[in-house]
Structure 1
Amino acid sequence: MKNVLLGLAIAVFTLNACKSKTEEKEPMPVKEEQVTIQVQGHRGERGNLPENSIPAFLGALRKGVDVLELDVVISKDKQVVVSHEPYMLPLYMLTPEGDSIPNEEEKKYNLYKMNYAEIKQFDGGSKGNVRFPEQQKMKTYKPLLSEVFDTVAATINKEVLKPVKFNIEIKSVEEEYDIFQPKPEAFVDLVMQIIQDKNMQEHVNVQSFDPAILEVMHQKYSDIELAYLVGENTYAENKKNLTFKPEIYSPYYKLLDSTEVSRIRKDGLQIIPWTVNNPEDIEAVIKLKVDGIITDYPERVIEKLEH
């Protein structure tokens, strides 16, 4: 009997000990879903250096961006020029003589009617940009897309930097066909010729506000990732403008909220808003778990993502 009682006592002790250890264990922490957000330097890093210039692209590259965002237009001699406007914008451009351009004369400097050798003489950095008071002033010019590709590649090799991709916006407006730009098919072919000549197909995506540009890209160059830029209306409304589903939906960031993000996700698109500059806006967009952020201040986004 003593042996039986002793055995029962040992069993109860062991059970209580195991129970105590189980109760002492802390619950397993729930892992947060890891979200990878691309940092895209808008026109290089327009907040700090002259937009769409070689210095701005190299500045953003050295800060560690994932993607360099830029705009392209076409010159009279069919060169693919990196520029946001198809003319010389008085806000930041100076003549070759260093003179300001009167606002009413900006359209007279139509890049589509100027050869690239002439375009390159204009100064895009010495005047600065009053909208970006921190932007460093320096003499610079509108480069060719081919030069940007070559210079970035050479700098990556020389300085052992991480590779980047390019988000190329084809600046196109229907009212300006054959006035400030070629028609969509000719425009797309000129841009793609440079991309193919430099073997950059896997390192670029093409974006545009103009559905006609994206339709041509989709039909003729289906291997290139496409982004639909929008500045108004809902995703449900905007998607009706295309006959196909692009890989990326790129809205003005204020058009996004959690509900809109869910609707876009249901269609399987990446979400890359533009142009997010203020720290509080950057935080809000990060919380939406977007796929990328286009910004004039890449260092601000990088800092938020690292903390």
Structure 2
Amino acid sequence: MRRGIAWTCPVTGRVLRVRVEIHGHRGARGLWPENTLPGMSRTMELGVDALEFDVALTADRRLVLTHDLTVSAVTSADRGPVHAGDPLYPYVGKPINALTLAQLRTLDVGVRLPRHPDDRFALTQVPMPETRMPTLGAVLGLVNAYEAEGVRLHIELKSDPTRPELTADPEMFTDLVVEELDRHGRLGNAAILSFDWRVISHAERVAPGTRRFALIELDTLHWNGGVGDDVAAAARDAGATTLSPEHIMVDETLMERSAAAGLDVAVWTVNDTELAGRLLDLGVAGVVTDYPDRMRGLWRERGLRLPQPVAPLRPVGV
């Protein structure tokens, strides 16, 4: 358990943290296209403790960044088939695991295409046309090129036990992610995340030194069997080192049970600074946000340690 530095509030008497982490959600989805290399670059240059992003497995067993198990019409646009007469084209709407990396790389994932006019991310996100879907290896290479040792990588393995036709075998999937992290020397500065705790349990066996975040929300708790009243203890028993709940689940009882289980709490997805302040007062260890810039402002107001921005990459020869 990584409790960090703490202080006692003279008004409430509650022990609070001085070191709380900012985790950029899908890079920083509110600012730049999600799960993309340019989005990751700019998020690191803004300054976060961790980059959170999602991975899924293609038909040719390549690990790609995507939040959805089918190609999203909101974050992806067809630009033409990989070859003339491809029977799977158009690719939008098709399962990720039915398409090859080459097919997925034809998509433009740099412009958000909202389904309704009040899509808040479309209003704040800077478009980056002609951006391609990256592989996990490409992201690891990018972070290493930045020499961003202070930035942890939080990799959510997209897995849905209720839709096995779209979902990779959780153990094989976890093995591939762990192998890629190890290849790039990042196992010690990464975390494995999943709503499917089969991934968490297997990660504990094959990468015991890597952090493991048990993601929870009310709609998918049943995926992991009877967790009972004490979800924190159940997550610990499944192999988690951190509990990562949707913010509506966080209250004093959950925080107390997480502490008793020896787990920190990293809460998602928090974009309102007033809500973030209440969660900080409850003692969360990390805040997952689409807007790291907003959280940096709150951290500054509260005198919390700010993650250092990573220096931009210099052009070759400079």
TM-score (norm 1): 0.80
Q: Contact (CA 8 Å) 1:46, 1:296: kept in 2 or not? A: yes
Aligned position for 2:171: 185
CA shift at 1:256, angstroms? 0.8
Alignment of 1:160-175 (within 5 A): 163-175=150-162
Does 2:76 correspond to 1:93? yes
Aligned position for 1:9: none
Among 82, 92, 106, the alignment partner of 1:121 is: 106
Q: Contact (CA 8 Å) 1:253, 1:275: kept in 2 or not? A: yes
Q: Given the superposition, is the C-alpha separation of residues 304 and 255 from structure 1 closer, same or farther in structure 2, using an over 3 Å criterion?
A: same
Q: Given the superposition, is the C-alpha separation of residues 238 and 260 from structure 1 closer, same or farther in structure 2, using an over 3 Å criterion?
A: closer
Post-superposition Cα deviations, 1:240-261, rounded to whole Å, max 9, x if no partner, equal 3674442100000111122321
Aligned position for 1:76: 59
4+ runs deviating over 3 angstroms:
29-34, 105-108, 237-245
Aligned position for 2:268: 274
Among 11, 24, 49, the alignment partner of 1:66 is: 49
CA shift at 1:235, angstroms? 6.4
Structure 2: distance between partners of 1:240 and 1:293: 22
Larger RCO, structures 1/2 (Cα 8 Å, 6+ apart)? 2
Stretches of structure 2 that go unaligned for 5 or more consecutive residues are 1-8, 82-89, 222-227, 302-318
Q: Given the superposition, is the C-alpha separation of residues 260 and 71 from structure 1 closer, same or farther in structure 2, using an over 3 Å criterion?
A: same
Q: Given the superposition, is the C-alpha separation of residues 251 and 106 from structure 1 closer, same or farther in structure 2, using an over 3 Å criterion?
A: farther
Aligned position for 1:226: 212
Other structure's SS at 1:301 match: helix
Identity %: 26
Post-superposition Cα deviations, 1:137-168, rounded to whole Å, max 9, x if no partner, equal 122121001101111221x24xxx66200011
Q: Give the helix-richer structure, 1 or 2.
A: 1
Other structure's SS at 2:156 match: strand
Stretches of structure 1 that go unaligned for 5 or more consecutive residues are 1-28, 99-104
Which is higher, the Rg of structure 1 or of structure 2? 1
Residue identity matched to 2:103 = E
Aligned position for 1:215: 201
Q: Contact (CA 8 Å) 1:170, 1:206: kept in 2 or not? A: yes
CA RMSD of aligned residues (A): 2.4
Other structure's SS at 2:125 match: coil
CA shift at 1:221, angstroms? 2.3
Aligned position for 1:144: 135
Post-superposition Cα deviations, 1:72-102, rounded to whole Å, max 9, x if no partner, equal 000111111111112211122110249xxxx
Other structure's SS at 1:69 match: strand
TM-score (norm 2): 0.78
